[in-house]
Amino acid sequence: MVWQQENRLNYEDFLQRHQLMTLLFAALFLVLSLRLFHLQVIRGNYYRNQSEQQRTHIVVERAARGLIYDCRGDMMVRNKTGYVALFYPFAQGAASSKAIVEKLHAILKRDLGPAIIRGWRSGQAVRLANDLTRDEMFRLQEQRLVLPGISVVNESRRDYKLPEANAHLVGYLNEVTTDDLEDLEDEGYKSGDWIGRNGLEKQYDAVLRGQDGGWQIEVDALGHQTRMVKRLVPLMGSNVHTTIDLRLQQVAYEELLKSPTGRGAVVALDPRTGAVRALVSTPGFDPNRSFTHEFSQYLKGKDLPLFNRATQGLYAPGSTFKIITFSAAVNEDKINLAETFDCTGKFVLGNKTFACWLKTGHGPITLIPALINSCNVYFYQLGLRLGVGMLGKYARMYHLGEKTGIDLPSEKRGLVPDIEWKRKKMREGWQQGDTANMAIGQGYLWVTPLQMALTISAVANGGTFYKPYIVSSVSAEQGETISTTESTAIGSIELSEKTWRLLRGALEGVVKIGTGRGCAIANFPVAGKTGTAQNPHGNDHAWFVCYGPVADPALAIAVIVENGGHGGTAAVPIARRMFETYYEGTLSTATVAGVSRTQS
Amino acid sequence: MIQDHEEKTLLQKFADHIDWVMILALFYLIGTGLITIFSATLHSGHPEKFMVTQTAAIAIGVAGMIFLTGFNYQYFRQMLPYIYIISLVVMVTVLVGGSTVRGTKGWFHLGYFSFQPVEVVKLLYILVIAGFLDSRWRDTKKFSVFAAGLALLGGHVLLILMQPDFGSTLSYFPVTLVLMFVAGVEPLYIGGAIIMGGIAVGIPLLTTFFRLQPDLLILHPRLQYLVSAVGNLKHASIILGSITAFLFTACWFLRQLKINVSWLLPLLLTGIIVAGSYSSLVVEHSLKEYQRKRLIVFLNPEIDALGSGYNIIQSKIAIGSGKIFGKGLFSGTQSQLGFLPEQHTDFIFAVHGEEGGYLWAQMTIIFYFLLVWRAMLIARESRDRYGSLVATGLATMFAFYAVINIGMVMGLMPATGLPLPFLSYGGSSMVGSLWGIGLLLSIHIRRFTH
């Protein structure tokens, strides 16, 4: 005790305040004591009653998710019965839970892993195994007596048809994470729930997931289960009906796999409504395996199998963009049909040389043959005449550079560059060469296959942009329709009659005599445009955008094969097979439904 | 007499001067804690695992405590800037390289065990803030000292909130304010800070609370008006205006009664209230709805009985059902059947109350107070002002930890996730608390030396 004497005044001031604080602490502890007395002595009987009545536990019974159908009513995603082992630790008294897990391992002849210990403390029913086979289920049932507290229940699980073809369209399920729960707690998600990832499973999760039910189980004072009090029946989720044609989906997938690299995407739209007929991205993955260890291999895959190339892949449109350059030039009267440019196989601009794909050159060439033969030299000069502003304006009129609004998550918007953009991003001025490149769909343009499908379907239907949609209606488990999707126009492009006529004629020419010859089908005339997009990652990407039949277009398709080389050789055959399948389909429907009428 | 003194060995001197009451309280609390943890972890099937970990933590804690008792605390006084910098570095390190446990990036994983550095860092903070107030003891009335103290506090609190570990910051505020008060800081500043903080946190929480009870709002339209003032500038200004008018009238009235109140006081209070209301907007935006719910639901857990109110309801049932004599060790139905959440950590006192009954639980509260009271006594008798302030800071820390935790378990305080020192399962908390006791003993043992 030194400062007490050295600095009397200061110490006394301290002491006074210090005493006040000691009193404050004493008061706080007094409050705690009074509360304790209140709870335990005064209200003790009330709470003892409460604790004795509180003998019910809830075991969650998962609701079956809604089904997903294609446009013909064929099942794309259905449910199958799975078996789940549940364990009630409180039926065991204190110890032995570990021993029981070991017995379970012995009966199943496999290790369920450390995951089953998770959630042990919570004292609620623990999910021991999510994926028992039928065989294992029977073995467990036989050994019931050795395994007190364990019960096996049915639980529906997902069964994806054509899993790899539909993977990106439909998505997959896995368990909600704690991060998800922070945002979704208010929407009724709880830990252990499944949640849709990607595709329709994610987009329509709220519709599909239904409402979990459960059993209330009564336990006695020692925690032994005495009886089931009540069962809340789980409510199945609503069913989702799509515009997808499974046959087209399958053909597209198989053909893409047969393509030179097996990587690519196909989007097929109905140009009359915007309904999505097929949407495939390869390589695919198997959503049925989303709860297994192998699924993480997909995340590491060099080919990015989880990546939806159809809506998220960004590519240069290549020569398919000539459709837009063509539209701008004719609609703005910037070109005379008879006017020729001389293609020598290359085009010199300043100190740079731009090549045509045909090294020998096309010779003197006019607009229509230039599009049919996809002459780059012609379009470089056409582009320079139009200027970057006009090219950009028409690209945006064709809805490039903005999302289409399809009912799938995480769609990419792509990019239509302009002078301002380049100055900001690259910190350099726009060059004439940039304009020339843009006119043939190279340079800074980025589009998704879905956007190109929307572009070509607008050409097919005379300029209307319908919002692409996959789900046409939602219905309840019993069948009554809950909601339907109407086809909605999100905009239109007004071009002169002459422009449409010339453009369509030229696109028909591409398939009849030009680069798209591989798609010429008897009885089913098709029009389209190939593209061969250069890219820094290897071989050119092969494009083909097309529609058919020409007289009354019912199907518009965009195909891309990554690093597939020439559009005419890699992409065109895929579209051809799809049109053929579609055509066969209409024939067979006609024979089934309309035949009696036609023949009588 | 002098001869007698010299004959004693070091150990004997140690034994003479050590605070045996404190040691007794420690023994009681740790013993009770071990028994209760054993009971609370029984249904996991391997309570011995928890025992081993906890005992290891006690061993590390006691070793550090003995070392600190022997170490002269006055050396810390000379190293304040370094201690503060080290404490900040530790917390930045855990933010960068720490691991995340239940959403909080506040842990170091070291081989077999993990450690939560904030439990020790807060001791460093007490050493620093006490040293700062000691070094400025002549100027403690100045506003600059008050502001600088708040800045020291802000550094720690911000880093902890970034983890984010809301609960751990809670003990910082009472420790700082109590230390400032006993060091001689103007009570007006401290009161102002408390009012401002109370308003800033209180407005968003209370509006959430009322929003959860729509019936109440329909019955009392005036409440509806108050709630609507959040986010409605017109209503807010009317309410603030009437409060200001009231304050000035009250001041005028008091002056009429010849009670000398400065006109500055209502002006200052108005400023504080406006500032508090304004910062409540910040709090409103930084807390998510479910966090606000969790903080306020203790006022009436029934409004969210299956959600955020569940823990409080279950823990009140557990304690209350223990009645006077308890249900007996290892026989609490609430704890053994798994109704209690976090029962071996944050809610350990609920298990204790259920199985030990009022007699034992009350005894534990008394022993807790004994510990705090001895710490305050050490503060009185310290040989220098620094020791007094450090001891007061530690006493405040223990007091508020106990009040916040036991208060939460009994439904008097919001659920914030703070452990109960010496009783809760958790190595970091045990080690930090024991080292704190080491500091107290170090101050106590040197009370006569020169």
Does residue B356 contact residue B322 with C-beta atoms inside 8 Å? Answer: yes
B183 touches chain A (CB under 8 A): yes
The yes-or-no verdict on residue A597 having pLDDT over 50 is: no
Nearest C-alpha neighbor of A72 from the set A307, A332, A246, A207: A246
The whole-number average pLDDT for the span A486-511 is 91
Across the interface, which of B46, B103, B399 has its CB nearest the CB of A98? B46
- Neighbouring residues of B14: CB distance < 8 A, sequence distance ≥ 6: B445
Residues of B in contact with A54 (CB under 8 A): 317, 334, 339
E strands in A107-224: 126-132, 150-160, 172-175, 194-197, 213-219
Domain count, chain A: 3
- Neighbouring residues of B228: CB distance < 8 A, sequence distance ≥ 6: B235
Nearest C-alpha neighbor of B169 from the set B180, B159, B157: B157
**Predicted-complex ipTM score:** 0.94
More confident residue, A177 or B86: B86
pLDDT of residue B94: 93
Identify residue A50 by its one-letter amino acid code: Q
Asked whether residue B326 is assigned to any structural domain, the reply reads yes
The yes-or-no verdict on residue B410 having pLDDT over 90 is: yes
Same domain as A130, residue A20:
no
Asked whether residue B63 is assigned to any structural domain, the reply reads yes
Structural domain boundaries, residue A459:
304-595
Q: Name the average pLDDT for chain A.
A: 84
Asked whether residue A563 is assigned to any structural domain, the reply reads yes
* Residues B388, A41: C-beta atoms closer than 8 Å: no
Q: In angstroms, what CA-CA distances link A262 with A255, A562, A574?
A: 9, 8, 12
* Residues A36, B381: C-beta atoms closer than 8 Å: no
Q: How many CB pairs under 8 A join A and B?
A: 173
Same domain as A33, residue A178:
no
Asked whether residue B168 is assigned to any structural domain, the reply reads no
The whole-number average pLDDT for the span A189-205 is 86
B428 touches chain A (CB under 8 A): no
Across the interface, which of B288, B357, B412 has its CB nearest the CB of A35? B412
DSSP B262-320: -THHHHHHHHHHHHHHHHHHHHHHHS-HHHHHHHHGGG-GGGGTTTTTHHHHHHHHHHH
Which of A40, A177, A220 is the mutation pick for testing B, counting most B CBs within 10 A? Answer: A40
Q: At A599, is the pLDDT very low, low, confident or very high (cuts 50, 70, 90)?
A: very low
Residues of B in contact with A97 (CB under 8 A): 43-45
pLDDT tens-digit readout, B90-132 = 999 999 988 887 778 888 888 777 899 999 999 999 999 999 9
Residues of B in contact with A95 (CB under 8 A): 42, 45
More confident residue, A429 or B392: B392
CA distance B157 to B145: 18
Residues forming a β-bridge with B76 = none
The yes-or-no verdict on residue A433 having pLDDT over 90 is: no
Which of A8, A9, A10, A29 is the mutation pick for testing B, counting most B CBs within 10 A? Answer: A29
**Antiparallel, parallel or unpaired: β A225-232 and A264-269:** unpaired
Same domain as A550, residue A506:
yes
Q: Which range, of A520-529, B108-117, B134-143, averages the lowest pLDDT?
A: B108-117
Asked whether residue A176 is assigned to any structural domain, the reply reads yes
What region, left, alpha or beta, does residue A137 occupy, with left being phi > 0 and alpha being psi -120 to 50 degrees?
alpha
* Residues A3, B385: C-beta atoms closer than 8 Å: yes
CA distance B398 to B396: 6
Same domain as A90, residue A14:
no
pLDDT of residue B358: 96
The whole-number average pLDDT for the span A78-106 is 67
Residues of A in contact with B448 (CB under 8 A): 1
Q: In angstroms, what CA-CA distances link B243 with B203, B210, B237, B276, B280?
A: 15, 21, 10, 13, 17
For residue A42, give how far its alpha carbon lies from the nearest alpha carbon of chain B (Å): 9
Across the interface, which of A25, A95, A123 has its CB nearest the CB of B337? A123
Asked whether residue A261 is assigned to any structural domain, the reply reads no
Could you say which residues from 365 to 404 on chain B have a Cβ atom under 8 Å away from some Cβ of chain A? 365-366, 368-369, 372-373, 376, 379-385, 388, 392, 395-396, 399, 402-403
More confident residue, A521 or A112: A521
CA distance B292 to B203: 11
pLDDT of residue A86: 72
Q: Which range, of A87-101, A121-135, A156-170, averages the lowest pLDDT?
A: A87-101
CA distance A517 to A528: 10
| 3-class secondary-structure state, position B446 | coil
Q: What percent of chain A has pLDDT above 90?
A: 39
The yes-or-no verdict on residue A174 having pLDDT over 50 is: yes
Same domain as A392, residue A513:
yes
pLDDT tens-digit readout, A340-352 = 888 888 888 888 8
Same domain as A72, residue A31:
no
* Residues A17, B184: C-beta atoms closer than 8 Å: yes
pLDDT of residue A168: 92
pLDDT tens-digit readout, B29-43 = 999 999 999 999 887
Tokens of A159: 């069964």
* Residues B341, A122: C-beta atoms closer than 8 Å: yes
The yes-or-no verdict on residue A135 having pLDDT over 70 is: yes
pLDDT of residue B232: 76
The yes-or-no verdict on residue A107 having pLDDT over 80 is: no
pLDDT of residue A361: 86
Identify residue B66 by its one-letter amino acid code: I
Q: At A88, is the pLDDT very low, low, confident or very high (cuts 50, 70, 90)?
A: low
CA distance A382 to A380: 6
Asked whether residue B299 is assigned to any structural domain, the reply reads no
The whole-number average pLDDT for the span A449-463 is 94
Asked whether residue B231 is assigned to any structural domain, the reply reads no
Across the interface, which of B338, B361, B368 has its CB nearest the CB of A123? B338
pLDDT tens-digit readout, A34-52 = 999 999 999 999 998 888 7
Residues forming a β-bridge with B115 = B108
- Neighbouring residues of A400: CB distance < 8 A, sequence distance ≥ 6: A317, A324, A414, A416, A445, A447, A451, A455
Overall residue count recorded for chain A in this entry? 600
The whole-number average pLDDT for the span B229-247 is 84
The yes-or-no verdict on residue B405 having pLDDT over 90 is: yes
Query: H helices within B330-384, ranges in order?
Result: 333-336, 348-381
Nearest C-alpha neighbor of B41 from the set B342, B404, B383: B342
CA distance A203 to A102: 41
The yes-or-no verdict on residue B247 having pLDDT over 80 is: yes
**Antiparallel, parallel or unpaired: β A276-282 and A341-343:** unpaired
* Angle CA A440–A442–A445, to nearest 5: 115
Same domain as A556, residue A431:
yes
Q: Name the average pLDDT for chain B.
A: 88
Could you say which residues from 19 to 78 on chain B have a Cβ atom under 8 Å away from some Cβ of chain A? 42-46
The whole-number average pLDDT for the span A365-377 is 90
| 3-class secondary-structure state, position A174 | strand
Across the interface, which of A51, A95, A182 has its CB nearest the CB of B321? A51
* Residues A1, B184: C-beta atoms closer than 8 Å: no
Cα-only R_g, chain B: 24
Asked whether residue A508 is assigned to any structural domain, the reply reads yes
Asked whether residue B192 is assigned to any structural domain, the reply reads no
Last residue of a domain, one of A221, A242, A263: A242
Could you say which residues from 9 to 48 on chain A have a Cβ atom under 8 Å away from some Cβ of chain B? 10, 13-15, 17-18, 20-22, 25-26, 28-29, 31-33, 35-37, 39-41, 43-48
What torsion do the CA atoms of A90, A92, A97, A101 make, to the nearest 10 degrees?
-100
Identify residue B426 by its one-letter amino acid code: G
pLDDT tens-digit readout, B335-378 = 776 677 788 899 999 999 999 999 999 999 999 999 999 999 99
Same domain as A479, residue A402:
yes
Same domain as A99, residue A44:
no
Nearest C-alpha neighbor of A274 from the set A456, A411, A401, A397: A456
Asked whether residue B9 is assigned to any structural domain, the reply reads yes
pLDDT of residue A119: 44
Nearest CA in chain A to B48: A95
* Residues A44, B362: C-beta atoms closer than 8 Å: no
Domain count, chain B: 1
The yes-or-no verdict on residue A224 having pLDDT over 60 is: no
pLDDT of residue A114: 52
- Neighbouring residues of B423: CB distance < 8 A, sequence distance ≥ 6: B29, B32, B33, B36, B348, B349, B352, B364
* Residues A121, B44: C-beta atoms closer than 8 Å: yes
What's the whole-model pTM score?
0.58
pLDDT tens-digit readout, A273-294 = 999 999 999 888 888 888 777 7
Residues forming a β-bridge with A79 = A158
Nearest C-alpha neighbor of A415 from the set A400, A398, A427: A400
Residues of A in contact with B317 (CB under 8 A): 47, 50-51, 54
B317 touches chain A (CB under 8 A): yes
Same domain as A556, residue A489:
yes
Does residue A315 contact residue A447 with C-beta atoms inside 8 Å? Answer: yes
Asked whether residue B295 is assigned to any structural domain, the reply reads no
B334 touches chain A (CB under 8 A): yes
Nearest C-alpha neighbor of B189 from the set B228, B238, B140, B259: B140
The whole-number average pLDDT for the span A502-530 is 90
Identify residue A314 by its one-letter amino acid code: L
Last residue of a domain, one of A227, A242, A257: A242
A219 touches chain B (CB under 8 A): yes
A110 touches chain B (CB under 8 A): no
The yes-or-no verdict on residue A412 having pLDDT over 70 is: yes
Task: Count other C-beta atoms under 10 Å from residue A46's C-beta.
Answer: 13
Asked whether residue A282 is assigned to any structural domain, the reply reads no
Nearest C-alpha neighbor of A299 from the set A123, A172, A204: A172
The yes-or-no verdict on residue A593 having pLDDT over 50 is: no
Nearest CA in chain B to A125: B338
Overall residue count recorded for chain B in this entry? 450
pLDDT tens-digit readout, B148-180 = 999 999 999 999 988 888 888 888 999 999 999
Highest-pLDDT range among A116-130, A513-527, B36-50, B173-187: B173-187
Q: Is the dihedral of CA A174, A178, A183, A189 positive or negative?
A: positive
Does residue A281 contact residue A310 with C-beta atoms inside 8 Å? Answer: yes
The whole-number average pLDDT for the span B264-273 is 86
Structural domain boundaries, residue B388:
1-70+304-450
pLDDT tens-digit readout, B276-315 = 888 888 888 877 777 788 888 888 887 776 667 778 888 9
3-state secondary structure A506-575: HHHHHHHCCCCHHHCECCECCEEEEEEEEECCEEEEEEEEEEECCCCCCEEEEEEECCCCCHHHHHHHHH
CA distance B83 to B88: 9
The yes-or-no verdict on residue A93 having pLDDT over 50 is: no
pLDDT of residue B42: 84
Same domain as A356, residue A220:
no
pLDDT of residue A596: 37
Asked whether residue A264 is assigned to any structural domain, the reply reads no
Last residue of a domain, one of A220, A242, A264: A242
Nearest CA in chain B to A185: B290
Phi/psi of residue A235, each to 5°?
-100, 120
Does residue B384 contact residue A3 with C-beta atoms inside 8 Å? Answer: yes
Burial environment of residue A140 by CB neighbours within 10 A (0 to 12, 13 to 18, 19 or more): buried
Residues of A in contact with B385 (CB under 8 A): 3, 7, 10, 14
The yes-or-no verdict on residue B379 having pLDDT over 60 is: yes
pLDDT tens-digit readout, B196-210 = 988 888 888 888 888
* Residues A21, B45: C-beta atoms closer than 8 Å: no
Does residue B230 contact residue B236 with C-beta atoms inside 8 Å? Answer: yes
Across the interface, which of B43, B184, B362 has its CB nearest the CB of A33? B362
Same domain as A65, residue A48:
no
A589 touches chain B (CB under 8 A): no
Across the interface, which of B320, B361, B399 has its CB nearest the CB of A46? B320
Q: Which range, of A398-412, A421-435, B23-37, averages the lowest pLDDT?
A: A421-435
